[in-house]
Amino acid sequence: MRNMPRLTILIVDDDDGHTELVRRNLLRAGIDNQIVALSTGKLALDYVFGRGAYADRALHGELLILLDINMPGLDGVEVLRQIKAHPTARRIPVIMLTTTDNPREINRCYELGCSVYITKPVDPAAFVEAVRRLGLFISVVSVPSQIEDKP
Amino acid sequence: MQIDRRETSALVLSRWPHLLAANAAVCALYFAAARFGLSLAFETRQVTAIWPPTGIALASLLLLGLRVWPGIYLGGFAINALVGDSTLAAAGIAIGNTLGPVLAALALTRVLHFDRRLQRLRDVLALIVAGAMLTALVTATNGVLQLTLGGVVTWSSFGSVWSVWWMGDAMGVLVVAPLILSVVLPAIMPSRAQPSAGAFELACLLCVLVLTSIPALNGVSAGPSPFQLQYAVFPWVIWSALRFRMRETSLCIAIINGLAVWGATRDRGPFASGNLDHRLLLLEMFMAVIAVTGLILTATMSERTAALRALQNANDDLEQRVSERTAELAATNRVLERKNEEVEAFVYVVSHDLRAPLVNLQGFSAELSRSSRELEQALSAVPLPAATRQHIHTILHEDIAKSLSFIGASATKFKRLIDALLLLSRTGKQELHLEPVEMRDVVQATIDTLHNSIDRARVEVHVDPLPRALADMTAVGQIFSNLISNALKYLDPGRPGRLGVGGEAHDGVAHYWVSDNGSGIPPSSLPRLFQVFQRFHPELASGEGMGLAIVKRVVERHGGKIWVESAEGIGSTFHFTLTADTRERNA
């Protein structure tokens, strides 16, 4: 398994606290993947499409994206739309992770093709389960829970 | 009817040349009318059935003011001198011929508030009584007295001469004055013209009038007519009165009466047989009836038209005002709706933005409590003095744990409030699908959903027949669900609970109520009952106090009203209205 390209978890959220909580939850659940945290939608798209600051990013690794909706500038729905409109990037699983429980917004995200929609505050167990299930088929490496993760 | 004072006052003759010219004109007109009147005299005796100068005199005074009396006097003097009276007699007769119209004009303008446009019944009656009868009373009495004193007329024939004189003068006023007034006034003051039938109709009317009047009043052959054909002219007078104004009717009256006099003086027509007094009386009666009928009918019609027009104007005005007010209200409504939407959007955004820090608050308090457990575990492996260990235990389990539990409780409460706010704002935004709703089914479904709580509280629920409403099914379910669960929450533990749902519909409004015999609402709480975050019995029930605010929102979005009747210790009844579904349901 270690030889396979490892799945990178991309967290896109403008709230550092949220990112930190997600990271800790994943870690505690024994998910030892590389985690990249980005604070704007623009950076997220740059990362996914390998442009801008990430022009030289190796595109071989698989991605799992945890995406917040309410972000200043390019919001999560738009980021989702652009990813899902891309011929190859559209295969990346996207978990919408937001404070909005507005049914209309949720429907819109599902229509655009998000994989899972989770409303914050997050129930850690359900959240980790969702990440695990989505990532399982690619490569989520479980490690003993107390091992430090340094991206 | 309002009288425009400006129009009832005489034309202003402020300068001498004007006054002089006016007097000269009146004098000439009077004289000409008198010559014309004399031409209509019966050949057998110098008797005229109609004396137009008297009408000219009164109309001149009414139109130009009392200052034209010298013209009248001179005209009267000239004509009387011309027919052969002595200078003294002519001067004396002219005094009466001037004084009569002057007195009548004074009575009409000063006492009777006469409106010269003759558009009211009272003006026509005033013209008949004061204008015609009073004028003729003065002129005839003075004139016959002068002739008798001068020896021209014997005292024994005073009565018959007086009555002929009186009738001729009165008829002169009745026929000539309305014609002049109604021809001159609209020309000089073209205001508030009444609608009148067209020129073609007038031409038709005058044609049939003349074609009927000549055989009826002049006879088909020479000599007295054996038939009383004079009545054939009445329909044309009525036609004129119904379809035209005073001007046209006065013209008709003048034509008919002129032809009647002309025929009678030529010994033809219905007034050609019998002795002269008899013929005169019949002729005068006929003319008077024609004139009075025409004038009164026309004035009545014009009054009716004016009243209708005033009513129409008032109606239009009212409609105009109603539509203005409606537009204003609609504009205000739009503003309010927009404000409401803004507030709701604001609440929505704020609630969402508040959630983000809340996530951190909750998440990191959980993290802190986890960390403190881990710290305790780590410390347990370290050898420490008993007192220090005890102190650390106190800090971790009492201080930090208690602080965290307060933070956690507050965060939870905070979250519930935000959720409630979001729910309320969503209630305002969600679209309503109005359809006929069978309320009985909705209430039954609500009761079924709540049957656990109902059974637990041992409440007796009674549902009366309910009218159908035009409403959003889901929203209505929300209303009943909130009201019924509220009733269940605030039962009086001291007595068996009873809950009733009822309704009735009239005038398109469906009115429903949910009543209970619960603990009731204290009067002090009633004003705030439907506001957000109001909880009146926190000890009895949990919740965010949003239920009634949401219910009110739902009812109002349906265009209904909601209110409550409550007595502490007896129970509460919540009422609300919706639009009734008045359509008959197909069986």
Maximum distance among all Cα pairs of chain B, rounded to whole angstroms: 164
B416 contact A CB<8A: no
Average pLDDT value for residue range B300-317: 90
Tell me which H or E stretch contains B505.
strand B498-506
To test the contact with chain B by mutation, choose from A99, A106, A107 the residue with the greatest count of B C-beta atoms within 10 A, namely A99
The answer to whether the CB of B246 falls within 8 A of the CB of B119 is yes
How many Cβ atoms sit within 10 Å of the Cβ of residue B4? 12
CB–CB contact A18 B415 (8 Å): no
The answer to whether the CB of B225 falls within 8 A of the CB of B282 is no
| Nearest to B50, CA basis, from B276, B257, B255 | B257
Report the gap between the CA of A124 and the closest CA in chain B (Å): 10
CA atoms within 13 A on the CB side of B137: 10
> Which pLDDT value is given to residue B355?
81
Decide if pLDDT at A17 tops 70. yes
Closest-approach residue (CA) in chain A for B412: A121
**ipTM of predicted complex:** 0.75
Edge-to-edge strands, sheet with A34-38: A34-38, A8-12, A63-67, A94-98, A116-119
Contacts of B360 in chain A (CB under 8 A): 15, 17-18, 21
B542 contact A CB<8A: no
To test the contact with chain A by mutation, choose from B352, B353, B423, B430 the residue with the greatest count of A C-beta atoms within 10 A, namely B352
Coil, helix or strand for B344? helix
Average pLDDT value for residue range B252-265: 90
B474 contact A CB<8A: no
Distance in angstroms (rounded) separating the CA atoms of residues B75 and B61: 14
Report the gap between the CA of A120 and the closest CA in chain B (Å): 7
**A79, burial (CB in 10 Å: exposed 0-12, middle 13-18, buried 19+):** buried
The answer to whether the CB of B162 falls within 8 A of the CB of B140 is yes
**B243, burial (CB in 10 Å: exposed 0-12, middle 13-18, buried 19+):** middle
To test the contact with chain A by mutation, choose from B354, B355, B377, B415 the residue with the greatest count of A C-beta atoms within 10 A, namely B355
CB–CB contact A70 B358 (8 Å): no
Report the gap between the CA of B568 and the closest CA in chain A (Å): 39
B122 contact A CB<8A: no
The answer to whether the CB of A33 falls within 8 A of the CB of A27 is no
Closest-approach residue (CA) in chain A for B418: A99
| Nearest to A82, CA basis, from A55, A39, A114 | A114
The per-residue pLDDT for range B426-479, each reduced to its tens digit, is 776 777 888 888 998 889 988 888 888 888 888 888 899 999 898 988 888 889
> Which pLDDT value is given to residue B2?
41
Coil, helix or strand for B530? coil
CA distances from B53 to B26, B41, B139, B164 (A): 10, 14, 11, 15
Of A17, A24, A70, the CB nearest to B360: A17
CB–CB contact A21 B356 (8 Å): no
Distance in angstroms (rounded) separating the CA atoms of residues B421 and B351: 7
Amino acid code (one letter) for A17? G
CA distances from B13 to B20, B71, B103 (A): 9, 14, 20
Look at chain B and count its residues.
587
The answer to whether the CB of B584 falls within 8 A of the CB of B474 is no
Q: Which residue has the tokens 């200052």?
A: B67
Helix axes B16-39, B69-82, angle to 10 degrees: 30
The per-residue pLDDT for range B126-153, each reduced to its tens digit, is 999 999 999 999 999 999 998 888 888 8
Decide if pLDDT at A137 tops 90. no
Percentage above 90 pLDDT, chain B: 32
Contacts of B364 in chain A (CB under 8 A): 17, 21
How confident is residue A73, by pLDDT bands cut at 50, 70 and 90?
confident
A70 contact B CB<8A: yes
B163 contact A CB<8A: no
Distance in angstroms (rounded) separating the CA atoms of residues B151 and B52: 26
> Which pLDDT value is given to residue B31?
93
Closest-approach residue (CA) in chain A for B354: A99
The region that residue A30 occupies, defined by phi over 0 for left and psi between -120 and 50 for alpha, beta otherwise, is left
> Which pLDDT value is given to residue B5?
43
Tell me which H or E stretch contains B469.
strand B469-472
Contacts of A120 in chain B (CB under 8 A): 355-356, 359
| Nearest to B53, CA basis, from B74, B70, B36 | B36
Of A24, A102, A120, the CB nearest to B359: A120
- Tell me the residue ranges of DSSP E strands in A8-148: 8-12, 34-38, 63-67, 94-98, 116-119
Average pLDDT value for residue range B394-401: 88
Decide if pLDDT at B297 tops 90. yes
Closest-approach residue (CA) in chain A for B359: A121
Of A99, A101, A102, the CB nearest to B356: A99
Contacts of A102 in chain B (CB under 8 A): 426
CB–CB contact A21 B363 (8 Å): yes
Of B352, B363, B364, the CB nearest to A99: B352
B426 contact A CB<8A: yes
The region that residue B299 occupies, defined by phi over 0 for left and psi between -120 and 50 for alpha, beta otherwise, is alpha
Percentage above 70 pLDDT, chain B: 90
The answer to whether the CB of A21 falls within 8 A of the CB of B370 is no
Enter the tokens of residue B416.
Answer: 């519930």
Report strand pairing: A63-67 vs A94-98.
Answer: parallel
How many Cβ atoms sit within 10 Å of the Cβ of residue A41? 24
What does B402-452 look like in DSSP terms, one character per residue?
HHHHHHHHHHHHHHHHHHHHHHHHHHHHSPP-EEEE-HHHHHHHHHHHTHH
Distance in angstroms (rounded) separating the CA atoms of residues B19 and A98: 99
DSSP state of A69: S
Average pLDDT value for residue range B41-51: 72
Closest-approach residue (CA) in chain A for B355: A99
Decide if pLDDT at B7 tops 60. no
> Which pLDDT value is given to residue B409?
84
More confident call, B241 vs B582: B241
Give the global pTM.
0.54
Decide if pLDDT at B528 tops 50. yes
CB–CB contact A121 B415 (8 Å): yes
Those residues with Cβ within 8 angstroms of residue B550's Cβ, 6 or more apart along the chain or in another chain: B423, B424, B427, B478, B482
Amino acid code (one letter) for B350? V
Burial B106-124 (b: 16+ CB within 10 A, else e): ebbbeebebbbbbbbbebb
Report the gap between the CA of B328 and the closest CA in chain A (Å): 35
CB–CB contact A121 B359 (8 Å): yes
CB–CB contact B360 A101 (8 Å): no
CA distances from A40 to A54, A78, B212, B340, B456 (A): 14, 12, 103, 32, 53
The answer to whether the CB of B579 falls within 8 A of the CB of B558 is yes
How confident is residue B543, by pLDDT bands cut at 50, 70 and 90?
low
Average model confidence (pLDDT) across chain B: 85
Amino acid code (one letter) for B365? S
A125 contact B CB<8A: no
> Which pLDDT value is given to residue B585?
53
Amino acid code (one letter) for B85? D
Distance in angstroms (rounded) separating the CA atoms of residues B206 and B252: 7
CB pairs under 8 A between A and B: 38
Amino acid code (one letter) for B7? E
Enter the tokens of residue A139.
Answer: 């490569």
Q: What is the Rg, in whole angstroms, of the alpha carbon atoms belonging to chain B?
A: 49
CB–CB contact B367 A122 (8 Å): no
Contacts of B415 in chain A (CB under 8 A): 121
> Which pLDDT value is given to residue A92?
87
The answer to whether the CB of B136 falls within 8 A of the CB of B100 is yes
The answer to whether the CB of B470 falls within 8 A of the CB of B556 is no
Maximum distance among all Cα pairs of chain A, rounded to whole angstroms: 42
Decide if pLDDT at B490 tops 80. yes
Report the gap between the CA of B433 and the closest CA in chain A (Å): 17
